[in-house]
Amino acid sequence: MEDFAKRGAFPLCPTQNGLMFVPLTPMLPLSTQLKDVDIVLHKATDEILSIEDDKITFRENIQELQGYLELHQDLCVIDPLKNIYPLLDRLKIQQILLGLEEINREGCHLIRGPISSESIILENLILRLG
């Protein structure tokens, strides 16, 4: 967050429309920091310790946030933590991007998933084994 603040990417003071980003600190309870927050934006991929058997283990601060979010499901989260795993799987990324091709419209930027013979062979193998 500090890097983004230095570049001015996230306003740390309220903008004209009241938008403001509040960095979280592990030194204070999350309940105090998030009581007046409308939306949580995280960068949990930077906090991954390990990935084993489809289970992601995060550093303690993200684990605490994860627990808080499970108890406060009314809090809006940009890109919920459960959505991170497919982004770590290249085949899943390809499948997601290929699904986006259906929304292509004329006059707009083309959305296309990566296609390679290796990924097609792997995908076919997975389908046969599954």
Q: pLDDT (tens digit, 9 = 90+) per residue, 96-130?
A: 777 776 766 677 766 665 555 455 555 555 666 65
What pairs with residue 39 in β-bridges?
A: 76
Is 80 exceeded by the pLDDT of residue 62? yes
Mean pLDDT of the chain: 77
Residue with the two structure tokens 């030194």: 27
> Measured on CA atoms in the order 17, 109, 9, 92, is the torsion positive or negative?
positive
pLDDT recorded at residue 125: 57
- Return the structure tokens found at 16: 């004209």
Tell me the whole-structure pTM to 2 decimals.
0.61
